[in-house]
């Protein structure tokens, strides 16, 4: 259209017309502007269809990766429970869980949007391929010639009439863009469509058979006696087309039109154009406007892929409210109203102060093959990462739960043994000290009064009692008065829980220090 306009316009207007066209194209990317023919549009449609279908597949694959990350982090929380590392991984597990939920929503949305667009693009692809096939048929043949005589109607005064059927032989269209033959600009259509103003493609009016030109020859003026000629191109008297009377198609020429792309605006008044209603002309099967309406809605709503949380940094986590709350909770804190730094400080306490550190660093330890889930002979060790991605996830959870229970029981035993003391050790007292209500002096020895039990609740498992002064040495024993006594701090049973808490705190410090 621009070429015709330029030729018909005065020279002074040429610059204006060209400038308008140039400015109009600037609103579309190079890919859209490179769509000039049916082949170009066909290539662009294939790329868009592949892109939208691939986007849904990409989100699905990403969702699986995020689910595996969340599972691995959950195992890490169970493995390190009771330590700062459990808090660290609980923060990461919170982030991963939120990412999984977001990816689920993205997949549902992308699948619906991509499906709608892919169906319309497939329809368009079929129309374009069919049109090119129809236009490729150019070799004519003739069948069913008939010589009816009076043609009737306005032609009832004709001296010669004939009817015949023109058939065009099917042929493959010329090679279109394939593989590396696709222009580079067109191949970028999927990346640029989000900012294009127009869809570039064939107008609906282009979808029709190619024009046929027929050359008709006739001789004579007598219909009587003429019959169909062998080639079925017409009718003639004795001698066919060499006789005195005949009428026939001399030549049929198929002239496929030049299929040139024009534009369909994606928007009107700033909004995506509407799908044509059923009563509108554009609602017919072949509709560029309908395709443009669907692509306009889809192109800006296909979501961005939620990345693996390994790609995030500590700085990214600091800005996440959910991560801040998880860190506060993991540290056993209560959120302080009005304290905007509490959450960030909690995150830093668990993840460290290096805001540039990527979370991938915290996954490295989860990839070590240090997990012996099977006790079978020759069974190999595995990693938390491998367990989270395979069938051993449940077994790994059970394993870590069992290890935690075992550690709890061992801790309880250690504390109990260390605190099994006699409520009051009478035998270690001298004469002058044997004055309590539970002790009494018998001869030169201080003993427990009758009714006071000896044993677990009456006597320590002392290794010092009874030793002579020369053997009563620190750090376990101490000579006091005339007796060798335990130098350890004696506690009563009410302090057992306090000591257990102190032990657990030590474990938290140890794990946190070793890891961070």
**pLDDT at residue 325 greater than cutoff 70:** yes
Is pLDDT at 13 greater than 80 in this prediction?
no
Q: 443's torsion region: left (phi>0), alpha (psi -120 to 50) or beta?
A: left
How far apart CA 308 and CA 66 sit, in angstroms, is 6
* Residue 472, pLDDT above cutoff 70: yes
C-beta separation of 490 from 421 below 8 A? yes
Looking at residue 490, its pLDDT comes to 38
pLDDT in tens, 338-357: 888 999 999 999 999 999 99
3-state secondary structure of 322: helix
Compare 299 and 167 and report the one with higher pLDDT: 167
Q: Is the pLDDT of residue 3 over 70?
A: no
Q: Which DSSP helix (H) or strand (E) runs through 314?
A: helix 314-318
pLDDT at 18: 30
How far apart are alpha carbons 426 and 434 in whole angstroms? Answer: 7
Beta bridge partners of 440: 447
Considering all CA atoms of the chain, what is the largest pairwise distance in Å, rounded to the nearest integer? 164
Which pLDDT belongs to residue 321?
Answer: 93
- Judge whether residue 314 has pLDDT over 90: yes
Q: Is 244 helix (H, G, I), strand (E, B) or coil?
A: coil
SS3 call for 513:
helix
Residue predicted with more confidence, 127 or 408: 127
pLDDT (mean) for 66-95:
90
Q: What are the contacts of 457-464 at 24+ separation with CB within 8 A? A: 457/422, 457/423, 458/422, 458/423, 459/422, 459/425, 459/427, 460/420, 460/421, 460/422, 460/425, 460/486, 460/490, 461/417, 461/420, 462/425, 462/428, 462/486
pTM above 0.85, yes or no: no
Burial class (CB in 10 A: 0-12, 13-18, 19+), 127: buried
Is 14 a residue whose pLDDT tops 80? no
Confidence label for 282 from pLDDT (cuts 50, 70 and 90) = low
Within 10 angstroms of residue 395's Cβ, the number of other Cβ atoms is 15
The confidence score (pLDDT) of residue 422 equals: 46
The structure tokens listed for 156 are 């009832």
Is pLDDT of 15 > 80? no
Coil/strand/helix, residue 96: helix
pLDDT at 403: 84
The pLDDT, as a whole number, for residue 207 is 94
- The pLDDT tens digits for 27-80 are 788 999 999 999 999 999 998 988 887 777 777 788 888 899 999 999 999 988
> How much is the pLDDT for 417?
63
Best-predicted range by mean pLDDT among 4-18, 194-208, 469-483? 194-208
Q: What tokens appear for 25 in the block?
A: 């194209």
Residues comprising the chain, all counted: 516
Of the listed ranges 1-5, 46-50, 95-99, 297-301, the one predicted with least confidence: 1-5
What pLDDT is attached to residue 223?
A: 87
Q: Give phi and psi for 448, each to the nearest 5.
A: -75, 145
Q: Which residue has the higher pLDDT, 494 or 147?
A: 147
How crowded is residue 290: how many other Cβ atoms within 10 Å of its Cβ? 23
State pLDDT tens for residues 396-408: 888 888 888 888 8
Residue 481 has pLDDT above 70, yes or no: no
For residue 41, cis peptide bond before it (omega within 30 degrees of 0):
no
Please name the residues in contact with 366: beta carbons below 8 A apart, sequence gap of 6 or more. Answer: 72, 73, 75, 76, 383, 384, 385
34 and 196 in contact (C-beta within 8 Å)? no
Does residue 514 have a pLDDT over 60? no
Residue with tokens 């959950």: 74
Whether 216 has a pLDDT exceeding 60, the answer reads yes
Could you tell me the two tokens for 5? Answer: 């306009």
Q: With both helix axes pointing from N to C terminus, report the angle between 84-136 and 288-299 in degrees, rounded to the nearest 10.
A: 170
CA neighbor of 296 nearest in space, from 196, 201, 203, 204: 196
State the average pLDDT over residues 445-452: 75
Please give the pLDDT value at position 359: 93
Confidence of residue 206 (pLDDT cuts 50, 70, 90): very high
Q: Residue 231: which pLDDT band, with cuts at 50, 70 and 90?
A: very high
Residue 423 has pLDDT above 50, yes or no: no
The mean predicted confidence, pLDDT, of the chain is 78
Are 499 and 418 a contacting pair, CB within 8 Å? yes
Q: Which of 503-512's residues contact partners 24+ apart within 8 Å by CB, and which partners? A: 503/411, 503/414, 503/415, 504/82, 504/411, 507/82, 507/83, 508/82, 508/83, 508/84, 509/84, 510/83, 511/80, 511/83, 511/84, 511/85, 512/83, 512/84, 512/85
Q: pLDDT at position 9, please?
A: 25
């Amino acid at each position: 259209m621009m070429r015709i306009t330029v030729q018909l316009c005065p020279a002074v207007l040429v610059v204006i017309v060209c400038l308008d066209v140039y400015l109009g194209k600037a609103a579309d990317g190079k890919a859209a502007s490179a769509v000039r023919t049916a082949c170009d549009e066909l290539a662009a449609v294939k790329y868009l269809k592949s892109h939208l279908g691939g986007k849904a597949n990409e989100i699905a694959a990403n969702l699986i990766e995020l689910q595996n990350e969340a599972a691995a982090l959950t195992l890490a929380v169970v493995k390190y429970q009771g330590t700062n590392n459990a808090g660290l991984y609980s923060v990461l597990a919170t982030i991963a869980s939120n990412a999984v939920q977001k990816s689920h929503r993205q997949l549902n949305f992308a699948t619906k949007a991509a499906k709608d667009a892919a169906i319309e693009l497939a329809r368009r692809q079929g129309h374009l391929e069919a049109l090119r096939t129809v236009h490729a048929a150019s070799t004519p043949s003739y069948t069913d010639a008939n010589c009816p005589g009076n043609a009737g109607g306005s032609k009832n005064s004709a001296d010669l009439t004939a009817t015949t059927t023109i058939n065009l032989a099917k042929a493959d269209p010329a090679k279109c863009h394939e593989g590396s033959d696709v222009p580079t600009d067109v191949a970028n259509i999927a990346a640029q469509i989000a900012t294009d103003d127009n869809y570039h493609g064939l107008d609906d009016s282009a979808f029709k058979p190619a024009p046929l030109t027929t050359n008709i020859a006739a001789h004579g003026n007598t219909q009587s006696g003429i019959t169909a000629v062998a080639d079925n191109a017409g009718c003639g008297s004795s001698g066919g087309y060499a006789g005195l009377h005949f009428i026939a198609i001399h030549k049929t020429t198929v002239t496929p039109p030049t299929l040139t792309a024009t534009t369909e605006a994606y928007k009107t008044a700033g909004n995506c154009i509407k799908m044509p209603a059923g009563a509108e002309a554009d609602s017919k099967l072949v509709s560029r406007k309908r395709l443009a309406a669907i692509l306009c809605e889809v192109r800006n709503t296909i979501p961005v892929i939620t990345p693996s949380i390994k790609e995030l940094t500590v700085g990214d986590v600091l800005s996440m409210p959910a991560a801040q709350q998880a860190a506060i909770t993991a540290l056993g804190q209560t959120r302080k109203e009005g304290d905007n730094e509490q959450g960030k400080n909690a995150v830093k306490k668990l993840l460290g102060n290096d805001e540039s550190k990527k979370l991938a660093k915290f996954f490295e330890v989860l990839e070590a093959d240090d997990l012996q889930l099977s006790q079978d002979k020759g069974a190999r060790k595995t990693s938390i990462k491998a367990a989270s991605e395979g069938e051993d996830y449940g077994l790994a959870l059970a394993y870590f739960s069992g290890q935690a229970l075992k550690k709890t029981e061992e801790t309880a035993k250690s504390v109990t043994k260390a605190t099994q003391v006699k409520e009051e050790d009478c035998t270690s007292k001298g004469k002058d000290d044997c004055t309590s209500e539970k002790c009494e002096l018998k001869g030169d020895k201080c003993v427990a009064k009758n009714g006071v039990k000896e044993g677990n609740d009456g006597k320590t498992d002392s290794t010092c009692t009874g030793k002579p002064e020369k053997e009563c040495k620190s750090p376990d024993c101490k000579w006091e008065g005339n007796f060798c006594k335990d130098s350890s701090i004696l506690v009563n049973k009410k302090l057992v829980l306090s000591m257990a808490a102190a032990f657990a705190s030590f474990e938290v410090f140890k794990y946190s220090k070793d890891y961070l």
